[in-house]
Amino acid sequence: MTTLPRNPGWKLLAMLALFLAVMVWYSISREDRYIELFYFPAPGKREPCLQGEAEKMVSKLFGNYSREQPFFLQLKDYFWVKTPSLYELPYGTKGSEDLLLRVLAITSYSIPESIQSLKCRRCVVVGNGHRLRNSSLGEAINKYDVVIRLNSAPVAGYEQDVGSKTTMRLFYPESAHFNPKVEDNPDTLLVLVAFKAMDFHWIESILSDKKRVRKGFWKQPPLIWDVNPKQIRILNPFYMEIAADKLLSLPIQQPHKIKQKPTTGLLAITLALHLCDLVHIAGFGYPDAHQKKQSIHYYEYITLKSMMWSGHNVSQEALAIKRMLEIGAVKNLTYF
């Protein structure tokens, strides 16, 4: 009886199959690690809050000295000032002290006891990005101790995706086209980010019902704004300074015509890292450059083209946020 020679090909096929299986497993494993780095693994899961955890990250990013700075400006610091600010707005108050005195006389600086008393502060910074649309993150966002929102981003009508709770809202005059009685809660802190002296003129005219300021803005701010002065806070420009310096490596003293500055979103993350023990973000990131028609906001159609003359370097900010995600300073509820 003739014996047929064995086919050695099956061993080769088996080895190839094993190799492919190992490569697929390794690829999935790597992808899982990537997802864990840049995405929050379970939006509905309550992550343990460790007191002082964010403080360790802050020292890596900004230095320990930054934890000593007050969050909001207060009137007593501008009487008989011994060490005047080194920089003009938005990185300091040099030259705007007289205006600021009048504004601080009718606003407040305190942080609510409900936040101060927390042993561990869990915070989320809600960006305005299109990625929040249809995200169904509203319920998860409402569970955080502190919810920080930006500019005129609406809540009404978008609660399922962005939640309804607002602890703080950072804004500037041109972005104040929202109704605080509709979009915010009665105890929401409305935090003015002053980019120029005219911003102090505007808030004073609104709160004191003085003659409205109409010039000096790139976009006309509201002339009537129904807001409770007790809700207004003035952000310490120090946080703008360190966001520019430590996160974006921007020179603080720049020619006026080409002045670059951080976005309100990056500024809010910087503030949250100093205020909170755990910081998550949602709705950050812009469309890829080739997606020119993709909206950058969840609530309106506006494209990346609108950022061209804004004075913001969105590419540099994306790198800064990715670095914070990589070292674990923040975690992301949406993809980035």
**Separation of alpha carbons 124 and 149, rounded Å:** 9
What pLDDT, on a 0 to 100 scale, did the predictor assign at position 16?
64
Q: Is 201 exposed, middle or buried (0-12, 13-18, 19+ CB in 10 A)?
A: buried
Nearest partner of 129 among 304, 311, 327, 310, judged by Cα: 304
Asked if residue 227 lies in contact with residue 206, where contact means CB atoms within 8 angstroms, the answer is yes
Whole-angstrom Cα distance, residue 38 to residue 131? 14
Domain that holds residue 108: 44-332
Instruction: Identify whether 50 is part of a domain.
Output: yes
pLDDT in the model for residue 27: 42
Q: Is residue 182 part of a domain?
A: yes
The pair of three-digit structure tokens given for residue 309, joined into one six-digit string: 């003359």
Q: Which two tokens stand for residue 155?
A: 């809540």
Number of domains forming the structure of the chain: 1
- Distance, in Å, from the CA atom of 332 to the CA atom of 284, rounded to the nearest integer, reads 9
Identify the pLDDT of residue 36.
41
Per the CB < 8 A criterion, the answer to whether 281 and 135 are in contact is no
| Contact between 245 and 83 (Cβ < 8 Å) | no
Whole-number Å distance between alpha carbons of 228 and 10: 79
Alpha-carbon distance of 331 to 46, in angstroms, equals 13
Q: Specify if 72 maps to a domain.
A: yes
Q: What is the DSSP string of 256-280?
A: GGG-----HHHHHHHHHHHH-SEEE
Residue 225 in domain: yes
Please give the pLDDT value at position 313.
85
- Measured N-to-C along each axis, helices 53-61 and 314-327 cross at an angle, to the nearest 10 degrees, of 130
**Eight-state DSSP code of residue 317:** H
**The domain that contains 141 carries what CATH number?**
3.90.1480.20
Question: Has residue 93 been placed in a domain?
Answer: yes
Q: What count of other Cβ atoms lies within 10 Å of the Cβ of residue 159?
A: 15
- Domain membership of residue 325 (yes or no) is yes
Residues 101-159: pLDDT tens digits? 999 999 999 999 999 999 999 999 999 999 999 999 999 999 999 999 999 999 999 99
Mean pLDDT, 10 residues at a time, the chain of 336 residues: 54 62 45 44 67 83 86 89 84 94 96 94 96 96 97 98 98 97 97 96 96 91 95 97 94 74 96 96 85 87 76 88 94 90
Coil, helix or strand for 84?
Answer: coil
Query: What is the pLDDT at residue 59?
Result: 86
Measured between alpha carbons, how far is 302 from 287 in angstroms, rounded to an integer?
A: 11
Q: Is residue 109 part of a domain?
A: yes
Which residues 6+ apart lie within 8 Å of 11 measured at CB?
none
The predicted structure's pLDDT at residue 34: 38
Residue 111, token pair as written in the block: 């942080």
Closest C-alpha to 299, from 185, 150, 166:
150
Residue 103 lies in a domain: yes
Q: What is the pLDDT of residue 249?
A: 93
Residue 49: φ, ψ to 5°: -105, 120
Torsion of CA 30, 36, 42, 48, to 10 degrees: 140
